[in-house]
Amino acid sequence: MTYKNLSKTFFINLFLIITIFAIDRISKIYVISMSNKVLVSDIFSSKFLNISLIWNEGIAFGLFSFNQNYLYDLLTIIISIIIFIIFVMLIQQKGLRKYALSMIFGGAIGNLYDRIFFQAVPDFIDFHIADFHWFIFNIADIFITVGVIFMIFCELIGINDQYEKN
């Protein structure tokens, strides 16, 4: 692997991570400010999509929400360790898996930022059909989910073996 090749993939992955983090931050700041302006959590409603701000103190989709601070702090530490492991995996991977891990890492640090500075993650995208509502999520969750699906896809069809030269 040459230095030129290393720096190219490094900067592409860094750009991807920073872009995901920025899009996530901008969307959350916008929704929070809109919620503060209208003084309600329901910002937008349509037939299939609502923009409704909720504060998620648990992990994905509000699972494991705790009222005790020490349990929240423990969960945040566990999430931080998992993000560090993803970072190590990101450094070690090559090819398309590296981009999938970059999406996961970018979304994960976006949500970790909120957990540290707000003690909760703002979720606001609510897809629904009639009275059936999916879990409310945010932009970071979208990138994490797409990255995981992409990793599974790469594993199932062995696509990364063709691109190991990067």
What's the pLDDT at 66? 55
How many beta carbons lie within 10 A of that of residue 164, not counting itself? 11
Q: Is 123 left (phi over 0), alpha (psi -120 to 50) or beta?
A: beta
What H or E segment, with its residue span, contains residue 94? Answer: none
What's the pLDDT at 160? 53
Residue type, 31: V
123 noted as active-site residue:
yes
Rounded-to-integer distance, Cα 164 and Cα 166, Å: 6
On the 0-12 / 13-18 / 19+ scale of CB atoms within 10 A, 87 is middle
What's the pLDDT at 122? 94
What's the pLDDT at 89? 93
What's the pLDDT at 1? 47
On the 0-12 / 13-18 / 19+ scale of CB atoms within 10 A, 59 is middle
What's the pLDDT at 100? 94
Catalytic one among 24, 114, 126, 141?
A: 141
Catalytic one among 24, 114, 123, 126?
A: 123
pLDDT tens sequence for the chain (166 residues): 455 555 678 889 999 999 999 999 999 999 999 988 887 777 888 889 999 999 987 665 455 555 567 777 888 899 999 999 999 999 888 888 999 999 999 999 999 999 999 989 999 999 888 888 788 899 999 999 999 999 999 888 876 554 554 4
Phi, psi at residue 163, to the nearest 5°? Answer: -115, 25
What's the pLDDT at 60? 56
What's the pLDDT at 126? 92
What's the pLDDT at 144? 96
On the 0-12 / 13-18 / 19+ scale of CB atoms within 10 A, 55 is middle
126 noted as active-site residue:
no
